[in-house]
Each structure stands twice: as structure tokens, then as C-alpha cells.
Structure 1
Amino acid sequence: MKIIVPMAGRGSRLRPHTLTVPKPLIPVAGQPIVHRLVKDIAKVINQPIEEVAFILGDPAFFGDDVVESLTQLANDLGAKASIYRQDKPLGTGHAIMSAKPSLSGPAVVAYADTLIRADFNLDEEADAVIWVKQVEHPEAFGVVKLNERNEIVELVEKPKEFVSDQAVIGIYYFKDIAVLKDELQYVLDNNIIHGGEYQINDGIKGMMAKGKVFKTGQVDEWMDCGNKTVTVETNGRMLGFLQQDGEENLVSPNVVLNNSEIIPPCYIGDNVILTNATVGPNVSIGTDCVIENTSVKNAIISNHSTIKNANLDDAMIGNYVEFDGHFKTISIGDYSVLK
């Protein structure tokens, strides 16, 4: 089994955090989004992973440190890491085709801006599986249309009239992804464009037109990481799941507590100093941070940051930040928000 991970986007909705860190490497519950996604897929697929192919963007942004991190992620799963580049942002279908040498055999395609909780049961009769989640407002999503045999016969983007309430979440299985590759090659060769881009859906529709059987897979939880608000919410939900699972080591044993309290669930990394602080619930703090005279809940704080004299709720703070709630002198970059 292979896992194909398109992750070349810049994550504009998560600015300013994604001005310096690629969105899939933003930490959620103590791990980068893409790390959690790939590990969770490998766990629920319950098959040996032979290769993980990552499709990255500009090397100036997705640099050597990103490649090293992703290579280690694949190696930890006993898999080969393949790194590809999508030189232009030309859509989901174009991104997948950037990894053309890896497009053979059984494979899962997963876009690195979402997290899941699921039990994957691969239907042996299906040529492909598209994972979906029941949603309250299907008009805001791409949804699947099913026939009487519960096979997918159509993909409909943001339907104005009700088609179904089963929204596509961006995770797909192909019994042989070479079939998708051939259909996407046709899309590229014939310049079939929607929304100014080459879309995976057009390759899938080509497969359906040739009689390939698509089934749905269900996820228990679908957690978005598209913008700051939902990413902070996802962080809290994931911490709750990890606590339910009995996950150990959510709080590093070398955290220094000076007249401070930790309210679970929280993730706290190494070399964090808490002084006169209340942390939690639903807080993730990276390594080498100092939190002083502060109350913080429902928040993500990345590495090497210092927070003082603050009362934070629904907060997302990046790396090497110095924030003093009693500030008089400030230096704030593009897309920053203080409320």
C-alpha cells in the first residue's frame, strides 16, 4: 500500500502562521498535521505501507527541513519516502500527477489539511473508495450521489438542490492508482479545467464513465485545519480523543511548575516553564516555552515562545513569539490579529 499526500498549498487562510511554516506542519495536539494524518491512515489501513509520496511546493518554502521531517515520518512507518514538487498551483489533479512515478498499485490519496477518526474497511468489490462524512449543510460541500446499490455515480460540488448529505472529506483509496493516473493524463492532455485548475474529480469521473465501481467509506470524526478558529477547535478535539485513548506522554515529565495548574486535556512539550499560570483545558504548548502570570485555554502555542500577563482563550501563537499582555511597544506582522 502507498499513501500519496498532496501538500503544496501555502495555506493562505491560516496566515500569519503559514507565512513561515507550511500548513501541514502546523502542530495540532503536539504533532504536525501531516504527521498525525499519515500515522492515523497507516494505523487504520492495517496493511504494510511501502511508500509515502509527498507532493510539495516551492523549495524555497518547503525546504530541506521539511523534506527531512517527512522522510523521517515515512521511515518511522517502515516505508520509503518519495518527494515530488508541484511547480505551479494548478489544482488537485495536477498535484497528484506531479507524483507520476509513484502512481501504481493500491494507494490512499489524502490531502494534508484534515484529520480523521475512523475504522477503514476496504471493500474488496470496489475499484475505489471515497471517504465521506454526513453533514448538516451539504450545499457548502462537495457531495456524492449514490445509486440503489450504494455505489457512487456522481460527484456534485456545492449542490443548490439536495443530492445527498454525504460530504467528500479528501481521502480516497484506489485498488490500482494507475487507472486514475491514466484518466488524469487525459485531463491534462485535453486541458480539461474547472475553476482554472485540473481537478481530481475529472479523473474520477473518467473512471466512473468506464464502469469502475466507487463505494463510500465513513469516518467517525472529520476535523478541519483550514483556518485559525477551526484549527484551535480541532486541537482541542484531538486532545480529548488522545486522552480517551489513554495516550501517555501528553505532558512532558520535565515541565517546571511554579505555583501553576494544568487542566487536562493538554499537550505540553519539553523544557516548558509555567509560573503563576493556569493552562487548559484544550491547550497545546511546544518546546522551550515560558508561560508566566497567564491563564490560557483552547489554544495552540508553538515552540520557543514567551507569554506573560495574559488571559488567552481561542488563541493560536507561533514560534519565537514574545507576548506580554501589558504591552506598550509592539511589532506585529501581516495578517496578525489582536482582540
Structure 2
Amino acid sequence: MKIIVPMAGRGSRLRPHSLTVPKPLIPVAGQPIVHRLVKDIAKVLNQPIEEIAFVLGDPAWFGDNVVSSLKALAKSLGAKASIYRQDQPLGTGHAIMCAKPSLTGPAVIAYADTLIRADFDLDAKADAVIWTKKVENPEAYGVVKLNSENNITELVEKPENFVSDQAVIGIYYFKDVAVLKEKLQEVLDENVMNGGEYQINDGILRMMAEGRIFKTGTVDEWMDCGNKTVTLETNTRMLGFLKADAEEQLVADSLELINSKIIEPCYIGENVKLINSTIGPNVSVGNNCVFENTTVKNSLIQNHTSIKSANLDEAMIGNHVKYNGDFTKISIGDYSVLE
């Protein structure tokens, strides 16, 4: 099994945090988004992962540190890491085709801006599986249309009339991804574009037209990381899941508490110091941070940051930040100073 991860986008909706760190590398509950996504997919597949192919953008943005992080992720799962580049933002289908040498055999394609919780078996009869989530407002999503045998027959974007309540979440399984490669090559050769981009859906629809069987794989939880607000919501939900699972150490042994307390669930990284402070619930803190005379809840704070005399709620703070003030709902990027 292979996993293909297109992740070349800049993540403009998550600025200022994505100005210095590519969005898939921003940590949620202590781990980068793409790390959690790939590990969760591997857990659902429950079979050996042979290769993980990452499609990155400009090397000036997705540099050596990003590549090293992704290679370490693949190695931790016993897989080979392949690195490809998408030089132009020409759509989801184009991004996949940038990894053309890896598009053989069974594979999962997953776009790195979402997290999941799922427990299902891949349908052995299916040529492909589109992972979906049941939603209350399907008119706001791209959804699948099903026939009487629960095969997917159509993909409908933001339907005005009810089609189904199964929203497409951006994760796909192909029994042989080379078939998708063939169809996407046709899309590129014929210059079939939607919104000025080459889309994965156009390749999928050509597979359906040939009678390929598409099934749904419904996830239990689908968590977005598109902007600051939903990323904080995802951090809160993920912390709750991790605490219930009890599979990860959420608070590092190096934590130093001085007249302070933690209200679970929280993730606390290495070498964090709390002085006269209360952290939690639903807070993720990176490594080498210091909090003094501060209360923080429902927030996400990255590495090497110092916060003093603050009362924070729904805050997202980047790396190497110094903050001392009375604001609450804030969004601060890397290397900022507020005193």
C-alpha cells in the first residue's frame, strides 16, 4: 500500500501562522497536521505501508527541514519517502500527477488539510473508495450520489437539491491508482480544466464512466484545519480523543510547575515552565515555552514562546513569540513581540 499526500499549497487562510511554516507542518495536539493525518490513515488501513509520496511546493518554502520531517515520518511507519514538487498551483489532479512515478498499485490519496477518526474495512469488491462524512448541511459540501447498491455514481458540488448527506472529505483509496493516473493524463492531454485547474474529480468521473465500482468509507470524525477558528476546534477535539485513547504521553516529564496547575486535556511539550499560571483545558503547548502569571484555555501555542500576565482564550500563537498584555482572542504569528 502507498499513501500519496499532495501538500503544495501555502495555506493562506491560516495566516499569519502559515507565513513561516507550511500549513501541513503546523502542530495540532503536539504533532504536525500531516503527521497525524498519515498516522491515522495507516491505522485505518491496518496493513504495511510501502511508500509515502509527498507533493510539495516551492523548495524555498518547503525546504530541507520540511523534507527531513517528512522522511522521518515515513521511516517511523516503515515506509519509503518519495518527494515530488508541484511548481504551479494547477489543481488537485495536477498535484497528483506530479507524483506520477509513484502512481502504481493500491494507494490512498489524502490532501493534508484535514484530520480524521475512522474505523472501517476497505471494501474488497470496490475499485475505489471515497471517504465521506455524514453532514447536516450537505448543500455546503461536495457530496456523493449513490445508487440502490450503494455504489457512488456521481460527485455533486454544493447541491441545491438533496442528493445525499455524505460529504467528500478529500481522502481516496484506489485498488490500482495507475487507472486514475491514466484518466488524469487524459484530462491533462485534453486540457480539461474547471476553475482554471485540473481536478481529481474529472479523472474519477472517467473511471466511473468505464464502470469502475466506487464505494464510500464513512469516517467517524472529520476535522478541518483551514483557518484559525476551526484549527482551534480541531485541537480541542483531538486532545479529547487522545486523552480517551491514552496511547500518547500528552504532558512531558520535563514540565516545571511553580505554584501552577494544568486542567486536562492538554498537550505540553518538552522544557515548559509554568509560574503562577493555569493552563487548560484544551490547550496545546510546544517545546521550550514559559508562562508567568498567565491563564490559558482553548488555545494552541507553538515553540520557544514566552507569555506573561495574560488571560488567553481561543488564542493561536506561533513560534518565538514574546507576549505581555491584556488581549484575549488573538492570533499571533512567528517572531512577534507584544509588550
Task: Place the TM-score, normalised by the shorter chain, in its bin.
Answer: over 0.9
How much has 1:43 moved relative to structure 2? 1.2
> What is residue 7 of structure 1 aligned with on the other side?
7
How much has 1:247 moved relative to structure 2? 2.9
CA distance in 2, matches of 1:326, 1:33: 30
TM normalised by structure 2 equals 0.96
The within-5 A match list for 1:144-293 is: 144-293=144-293
> What is residue 112 of structure 2 aligned with on the other side?
112
Task: Tell me the alpha carbon deviations over residues 80-117 of structure 1, each in whole angstroms, 9 at most, x when there is no partner.
Answer: 00000000000000000000000000000011000000
Unaligned runs of 5+ in 1: none
CA distance in 2, matches of 1:196, 1:132: 26
Residue identity matched to 1:124: A
Residue identity matched to 1:287: N
> What is residue 65 of structure 1 aligned with on the other side?
65
Residue identity matched to 1:191: N
CA distance in 2, matches of 1:141, 1:273: 43
Task: Tell me the alpha carbon deviations over residues 56-90 of structure 1, each in whole angstroms, 9 at most, x when there is no partner.
Answer: 00000000000000001001111000000000000
> What is residue 84 of structure 2 aligned with on the other side?
84
- Cα 1:100–1:313 change in 2 (3 A) is same
- Cα 1:326–1:117 change in 2 (3 A) is closer
Q: Is contact 2:52-2:80 (8 Å) kept?
A: yes
> What is residue 314 of structure 2 aligned with on the other side?
314
List, as ranges, runs of 4+ consecutive aligned residues in structure 1 with deviation greater than 6 Å: none
Does 1:35 pair with 2:52? no
How much has 1:248 moved relative to structure 2? 3.9
- Cα 1:20–1:107 change in 2 (3 A) is same
Percent identity over the alignment is 77
Q: Is contact 2:256-2:274 (8 Å) kept?
A: yes
Q: Is contact 2:319-2:333 (8 Å) kept?
A: no
* SS of corresponding position for 1:84: strand
Task: Tell me the alpha carbon deviations over residues 18-59 of structure 1, each in whole angstroms, 9 at most, x when there is no partner.
Answer: 000000000000000000000111111011000000000000
Q: How many equivalent residue pairs?
A: 332
CA distance in 2, matches of 1:175, 1:112: 21
CA distance in 2, matches of 1:208, 1:64: 39
CA distance in 2, matches of 1:221, 1:333: 28
CA distance in 2, matches of 1:129, 1:141: 18
> What is residue 297 of structure 2 aligned with on the other side?
297
Residue identity matched to 1:273: K
> What is residue 140 of structure 1 aligned with on the other side?
140
CA distance in 2, matches of 1:295, 1:333: 20
How much has 1:233 moved relative to structure 2? 0.6
How much has 1:326 moved relative to structure 2? 5.6
- Cα 1:147–1:233 change in 2 (3 A) is same
How much has 1:119 moved relative to structure 2? 1.1
Residue identity matched to 1:157: E
TM normalised by structure 1 equals 0.96
